Chain A
Amino acid sequence: MVMDCHNFKELLDSYLCGELAVETNHTMLCHAERCCSCRNEMAARRLLRESLRRVCSREKMSDHAMENLRTILRSEAGLGAGPARRSDEAGRRSWFAGLFKMRFLMSAAVVAALTLLIIGAWSLYVLRRGDLTNQQKMSRLSPEQIKALELSGSLIAESVGDHRTCAAHFVDATESAEMPDSVRNYDSACVRLDKIAAEGAAGLLLRAAHICDFGERKFAHLVYTRDSRLISLLVTARDSQALKSGQVPPFDGLTLGTQRFTRDHLALGAYQTVKRVILVVSDLSENENTALAERLAKPVAEHLRSAEAKLGLEKRVGRLNLRED
């Protein structure tokens, strides 16, 4: 990401909270060193945080309330005199204490027990059915397809990480973005990525388009929003670093359809080409995300597959020409 004054100010609070990746922190500091106005803004926001902390810290619970709290805990633990909750003391039902009256607890307990019973039985049924379905699915996959699944799976942490640290900063972006031409240096097939994905991205707003570094991996990254939901479309190399074994499995991802995963409440859908992996990450439900990946990533995968095939053909023709010479 290019660090200009606008990006700097957008990321500044997250920087002060220590929520940015080490690389981004470094870029922020480099920018602040060069730009006086941003340096002043950094100092002003630091001061504001300190003022906030000081002014909020002045508010303290009264000694009486603290003493009461200790008495209640002792009573609850069966170690002391009866409760001295403010609510009882004042002869009024407190706002929260009222919720925990015995009558409420009894009826809530009965409802909760019944609900738990029903949920438990249903989960057991779904789990058993799900296991069977997975086993059936796995038994239908070829070893190459399973390896291809593992490869996409091994990119989950980095994709989710990039979505979290990068995409989240564009949730309030108001301007639309375009993939810069400089992408050519990284991956010429991604230069028009925004245009290629445009048809599948109907209903989404493109908020950022750039090349990202996350850990040791580079991603071509398109960030979309729909309402306040964030969606990342990521393209990365299908290389030997993706798997711990260091080997790229033979390609059989074409027949797999959308590979789906969930990590930390984020859903991922993945497609593979011979040389690249395309991922869609969002906080939508897994089913919604898969449907979106089908729309968004599939045309990209098809474009990249044909670009790769064309490149392969050009290389073969080049080799033939050399032989003829």
Chain B
Amino acid sequence: MGQNDRLQRLETFEAEALGFSGQLFRVALRVCRDRERAEDLVQETYLQAWRSFHRFEMGTNLRAWLYKILFNVYYGGIRRERLELAPIEETIAETIAYDPPTPQHLTEEEVLIALERIPRDFQVPVVLADVEELSYREIADALQIPLGTVMSRLHRGRKLLRMELANYARNAGYQIAN
């Protein structure tokens, strides 16, 4: 491949793929919980994506493809944590039977604190679905887990988030509807 072809190909890649860097970074940040690591993860994701770009079929879902690579790179980095839910976290989520009404009037800071308190295995699907607006199928593909597991983690993750917010609201003296 000549230099001009390579340049043209890279420009296409940058034009198509780099627009998603913000979204990838937000998810990387939830996964890594550290800015530098998140930036490294995004960097490595794009590098892998560029190396496989010749296999990508234009017109198909580029964003979902990038998320899949991101989690592949991430899982490759910490293989031991792959798909494993800490048993204690699973137990916590399962024991929540009470689903409180969603409190209103909380600040964005309070919402962020509540989100960060949720175990990562529940937090990441919630961010992918409710912030990044991936479909449940895209989340299952990206995280490489069955669709049923995605739905279950989303259900529990959202419930945990509402619990955190309700506790926060109660402690702060806000009134919660019954």
Q: Which residues of A contact B (CB under 8 A)?
A: 9-10, 13-14, 16-17, 19, 37, 40-41, 44-45, 47-49, 51-57, 59-62, 65-66, 68-70, 72-74, 76-79, 85-87, 94-97, 99-100, 164, 168-169, 171-172, 174, 228-230, 265, 283
Selected from B39, B51, B103, the residue in CB contact (under 8 A) with A44 is B103
Selected from B43, B102, B130, B149, the residue in CB contact (under 8 A) with A86 is B43
Does B168 touch A at the CB level, under 8 Å? no
A228, B152: Cβ atoms closer than 8 Å: yes
Does B9 touch A at the CB level, under 8 Å? yes
B50, A77: Cβ atoms closer than 8 Å: yes
B148, A283: Cβ atoms closer than 8 Å: yes
B46, A171: Cβ atoms closer than 8 Å: no
Task: Determine the distance from Cα of A277 to Cα of B61 in the docked complex, in whole angstroms.
Answer: 36
B50, A73: Cβ atoms closer than 8 Å: yes
Judged by DSSP, the binding face of B is helix
With a cutoff of 8 Å between Cβ atoms, the chain B residues found around residue A13 in the complex are 129-130, 154-155, 158
Task: Determine the distance from Cα of A95 to Cα of B129 in the docked complex, in whole angstroms.
Answer: 27
Task: Determine the distance from Cα of A254 to Cα of B131 in the docked complex, in whole angstroms.
Answer: 50
Minimum CB distance partner of B111 in chain A? A51
Known A13-B155, A62-B39, A97-B44; 20 more pairs at CB < 8 Å: A9-B99, A10-B155, A17-B129, A44-B104, A45-B102, A48-B165, A51-B108, A56-B30, A65-B39, A69-B42, A73-B14, A73-B47, A76-B47, A77-B9, A78-B6, A79-B10, A85-B43, A100-B44, A171-B155, A228-B152
Nearest Cβ in chain A — how far from B18, in angstroms? 8
Nearest Cβ in chain B — how far from A107, in angstroms? 15
A61, B165: Cβ atoms closer than 8 Å: no
Minimum CB distance partner of B44 in chain A? A96
A61, B50: Cβ atoms closer than 8 Å: no
Q: List 16 A-B contacts (CB under 8 A).
A: A13-B154, A13-B158, A17-B130, A44-B102, A48-B161, A56-B112, A60-B25, A61-B21, A69-B46, A79-B10, A86-B40, A96-B40, A96-B44, A96-B73, A168-B147, A171-B155
Nearest Cβ in chain A — how far from B171, in angstroms? 18
B13, A86: Cβ atoms closer than 8 Å: no
Q: Ordered nearest first, which 5 A-B pairs have the shortest CB separation? A: A44-B102, A96-B44, A65-B39, A55-B108, A61-B25
Selected from B30, B40, B77, B133, the residue in CB contact (under 8 A) with A17 is B133
Minimum CB distance partner of A96 in chain B? B44
Task: Determine the distance from Cα of A16 to Cα of B135 in the docked complex, in whole angstroms.
Answer: 12
Nearest Cβ in chain B — how far from A257, in angstroms? 27
Selected from A52, A74, A77, A100, the residue in CB contact (under 8 A) with B130 is A52
With a cutoff of 8 Å between Cβ atoms, the chain B residues found around residue A87 in the complex are 40
Task: Determine the distance from Cα of A235 to Cα of B156 in the docked complex, in whole angstroms.
Answer: 30
Nearest Cβ in chain A — how far from B73, in angstroms? 6
A59, B29: Cβ atoms closer than 8 Å: yes
Minimum CB distance partner of B46 in chain A? A69
Per-position contact with A for B81-104: 1 when CB-CB < 8 Å, else 0? 000000000000000010101111
Interface residues of B in 33-69 (CB under 8 A from A): 35-37, 39-44, 46-47, 50-51
Minimum CB distance partner of A282 in chain B? B148
With a cutoff of 8 Å between Cβ atoms, the chain A residues found around residue B135 in the complex are 17, 19
Task: Determine the distance from Cα of A73 to Cα of B42 in the docked complex, in whole angstroms.
Answer: 12
Given contacts A57-B26, A60-B22, contact A171 B151 (CB under 8 A): yes
With a cutoff of 8 Å between Cβ atoms, the chain A residues found around residue B103 in the complex are 44
Nearest Cβ in chain A — how far from B15, in angstroms? 12
With a cutoff of 8 Å between Cβ atoms, the chain A residues found around residue B99 in the complex are 9
Given contacts A61-B21, A79-B7, A228-B152, contact A265 B43 (CB under 8 A): no
